[in-house]
Amino acid sequence: MKNFWKELKKPFFVLAPMADVTDASFRRIIAKYSRHGEEGGGPDVFWTEFVAADGLMSRGVEALKYDLMYTEGERPIVAQLFGSNPEKMEGAARLCAELGFDGIDINMGCPDKSIEKQGAGACMIKHPEVAREIIRAAKRGAPNLPISVKTRIGYNTNEIDTWIPQLLAEDIAALTIHARTRKEMSKVPARWEHVKEVVEIRNKLGKDTLILGNGDVLDIADAKKKVAETGCDGVMLGRAIFGNPWLFDQNKGEVSTEEKLRVLVEHTQLYEELLGQIKSFSIMKKHYKAYVNGFPEAKELREKLMLCENAAEVESIVEAFLTK
């Protein structure tokens, strides 16, 4: 088995999978402007948005494959799956291996009720025996790929002492810990002392699993601080990427307003080109609030952009703003 995780220089900094955010278009923009693969650039690992294993084994597979689009410039790239049916997880993992992914990650932390109704996401925390079978199924489907897991510290309360050893017992390649419970969602500050506890459990059990921390990371400097405090191997950054595809470029200085707005246009055009036929244009608009703030007349510009219905309108409005 080729395990890219073992080749990463520590500490490493990776991009969180976020539904309707880190899609194929945004990942390409991030790879370009964070100088992925270059010295001081990143992310060190990309994730796809999470995809239903059940869906990949259904007649809806062709539409879902859009969520699994990637370019060679995003490697190493991990396909994130969710599901509670071992047979379908095995088949979905096999498909991801055929599509050329570098690894597979299983989401065992998503608090979305529709995901939990399927017995997946954070619901796995309540059913560790099922979680372990799902990991084994992914390994059967993709025996040559490293399998990792992303989860939380517990469901209603901190369950690290019981939940984490169950996952580590399956010898997964990497484990990302979102430092909150499912009940807490993202309503309370992430408690990184629990990431340190997970590292200690891993060490006590003598496992090789890499531990990544996740939750409320502001930037790479903050990520490095959290590595020093917890001893984790890497950090996953999520919400900080909004409006900031330069996030992982450790050599980047301040970004000008014009640069931000031109990348906003480029991002919008790429979204429309790659996903415009199958996804709503309104999904793209969640990025505008982040791109367009902190400069004079940002509010007025943002209001105009929120009324746009295609990339051409966005480009026209941004050009008019920049040339007035």
Residue 110 among the catalytic residues: yes
Whether a cis peptide bond, with omega within 30° of 0, leads into 189 is no
CA distance 156 to 112: 14
Q: Is residue 281 a contact partner of residue 272, using CB atoms and an 8 Å limit?
A: yes
Which ranges of 157-242 does DSSP label H, i.e. alpha helix? 160-168, 193-205, 220-230
Q: Which residues are registered as beta bridge partners of 149?
A: 106, 175
Among 96, 110, 232, 308, the active-site one is 110
Residues 6+ apart with CB under 8 A from 133: 86
CA distance 140 to 87: 10
Amino acid in position 6: K
CA distance 11 to 142: 27
CB burial of residue 4 (10 Å; 0-12, 13-18, 19+): middle
CA distance 291 to 209: 36
CA distance 54 to 105: 15
Question: For residue 148, what are its two tokens?
Answer: 């990792």
Q: Which residues are registered as beta bridge partners of 80?
A: 50, 105
Which residue numbers are catalytic?
110
